[in-house]
């Protein structure tokens, strides 16, 4: 089932959140590149959040793409998204975020997440590797855990002389257990946009600037 692009007027750590991840997020198979159209860019400039998903309910898997415009430099957004302490404040349902290992040149990390959604979805634990291109992108793939597959990419495209950034997100997720269709639809409509809105608010606040300062 194709879920059309959703535009929400208003305004991951990487793995976007299991509400959507488990609902939908094979090596290096991600949603295809997403060149934003002029119309989509106008929507983003108005504060809308774009979500596009291709969900296969029969095979219990899916590909998701999303985008948001944030009035903050890419360096600030990158610092927030690579900070476990910050993730625990703005990522819904995230109960634990711990860096287990860091590469000698700090270009990658192994990170553990524990997500507790509610009574109808099992508490989920997984470890993923995040590879960093500071200020440009964060790619991730699961190393072990309760998902069959969870891999994707965050990209940061500067705008307005670097004072704003378009953040795009692509993920391919395959859970190990059945996820009801109503939960998939609910998450695509509410949970993912809520996560991106939370990321935007955090990055545009003083907390985002503080996270960037702490990362230096």
**Which uninterrupted H or E stretch holds 85?**
helix 84-90
Cβ atoms 30, 139 nearer than 8 A:
no
Task: Give the tokens for residue 94.
Answer: 């995230």
Q: Give the mean pLDDT of 17-33.
A: 39
Q: What is the distance between the alpha carbons of residues 30 and 171, in angstroms, rounded to a whole number?
A: 6
- Between the alpha carbon of residue 209 and those of residues 38, 66, 116, the distances in Å are 30, 24, 28
Q: Note the pLDDT tens digit of each residue in 32-57.
A: 466 888 999 999 999 999 988 765 55
Q: What is the distance between the alpha carbons of residues 18 and 126, in angstroms, rounded to a whole number?
A: 10
Report residue 150 CA to chain centroid gap: 11
Q: What is the distance between the alpha carbons of residues 118 and 60, in angstroms, rounded to a whole number?
A: 19
Q: What is the distance between the alpha carbons of residues 20 and 34, in angstroms, rounded to a whole number?
A: 19
Please determine, for residue 167, whether its predicted confidence score (pLDDT) is greater than 60: yes
On the CB side of 155, CA atoms within 13 Å amount to 13
Q: What is the distance between the alpha carbons of residues 93 and 70, in angstroms, rounded to a whole number?
A: 22
Q: What is the distance between the alpha carbons of residues 191 and 16, in angstroms, rounded to a whole number?
A: 10
**Alpha-carbon radius of gyration of the chain:** 16
Q: Note the pLDDT tens digit of each residue in 134-151.
A: 999 999 999 998 877 788
Q: What is the distance between the alpha carbons of residues 102 and 99, in angstroms, rounded to a whole number?
A: 7
Cβ atoms 127, 108 nearer than 8 A:
no
What is the structure's pLDDT at 194?
A: 85
Q: Note the pLDDT tens digit of each residue in 169-196.
A: 888 777 666 666 555 556 656 778 888 9
């Amino acid at each position: 089932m194709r879920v059309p692009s959703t535009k929400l007027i208003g305004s991951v750590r990487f793995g976007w959140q299991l509400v959507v991840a488990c609902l939908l997020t094979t090596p290096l198979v991600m949603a295809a590149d997403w060149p934003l159209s002029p119309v989509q860019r106008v929507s983003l400039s108005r504060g809308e959040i774009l979500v596009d998903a291709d969900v296969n309910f029969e095979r219990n898997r899916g590909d998701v793409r999303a985008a948001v415009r944030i009035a903050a430099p890419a360096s600030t957004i990158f610092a927030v998204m690579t900070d476990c302490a910050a993730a625990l404040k703005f990522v819904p349902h995230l109960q634990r975020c711990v860096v287990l290992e860091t590469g000698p040149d700090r270009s990658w990390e192994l990170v553990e997440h524990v997500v507790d959604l509610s009574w109808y979805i099992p508490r989920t634990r997984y470890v993923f590797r995040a590879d960093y291109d500071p200020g440009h992108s964060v790619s991730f793939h699961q190393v072990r855990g309760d998902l069959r597959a969870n891999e994707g990419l965050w990209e940061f495209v500067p705008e307005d002389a670097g004072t704003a950034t378009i953040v795009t997100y692509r993920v391919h997720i395959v859970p190990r257990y059945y996820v009801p269709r109503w939960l998939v639809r609910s998450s695509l409509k509410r949970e993912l946009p809520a996560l991106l809105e939370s990321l935007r608010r955090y990055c545009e606040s003083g907390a985002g600037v503080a996270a960037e300062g702490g990362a230096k």
